[in-house]
Structure 1
Amino acid sequence: LGVGSVHEEFPIRSGKNCVWDKQEVHSDDACAELLLCPVDAVKFFEQARPESVSNEDWMKHQFALRSIVAELCCTADGSTLLETLLPLMDSIDILPQQTKKKKQQQRKAKIKTSSPTN
């Protein structure tokens, strides 16, 4: 991207207070190719789902990861955020496979019980 260094400021919690962590971050070309391939960038940063994380929180985490990757990649390649983000949404795995099957069975059972009988 041709950027030498960037001044970053992030809020962090210190007890009950918010403290701003401020630092100069220098560019590193080690992962520059990931800016041109958002799918690979998502794979690079994905992690295993912790058992204690709810389905809703895991979905939010996966969406946030893809949103940040898309924002960085579209800045690098000149595409729009939506053009970059939409293909990444297909890889979100919201529910474990076993839970997906249970939900499908529940929907089928609900359809059977809610349909009028003759």
Structure 2
Amino acid sequence: MADGTLYDRLGGEPAVGAVVSEFYDRVLADERVSHHFEDVDMADQRSHQTKFLSAVTGGPMRYEGDEMAVAHEGLAITDAEFDAVAGHLDDALREFDVDDADRGAVLEAVEAYREAIVEGA
């Protein structure tokens, strides 16, 4: 594994932004989860997600959105939906040739938020 933060190894803001764009293209094409984004400003959502992933991977950007539980309150997100979205993130990371260890680290960082995102978790 290369030196530096996970954010640095991913390629910094441009690479994280590209992964987020690919990720949301996949999510929005998936009828299992796309309904959660029907009334969402996707440019804003992509920006928030880029900041969030940057923050959890050790980057300089700060995520200043709502707390995860507040942001996802009332959306009735299930474990299966969380898993589907996490799968799309993994696939997007693979699309950009992120190595196994770094992909695992990103997914582990996101997994830490499952309880705040999934209703009833």
Which is bigger in relative contact order (C-alpha 8 A, separation at least 6)? 2
More strand by share: 1
Same fold (TM over 0.5): no
Under a length normalisation based on structure 1, what TM-score does the superposition of the two structures give?
0.34
Under a length normalisation based on structure 2, what TM-score does the superposition of the two structures give?
0.33
The higher radius of gyration belongs to: 1
More helix by share: 2
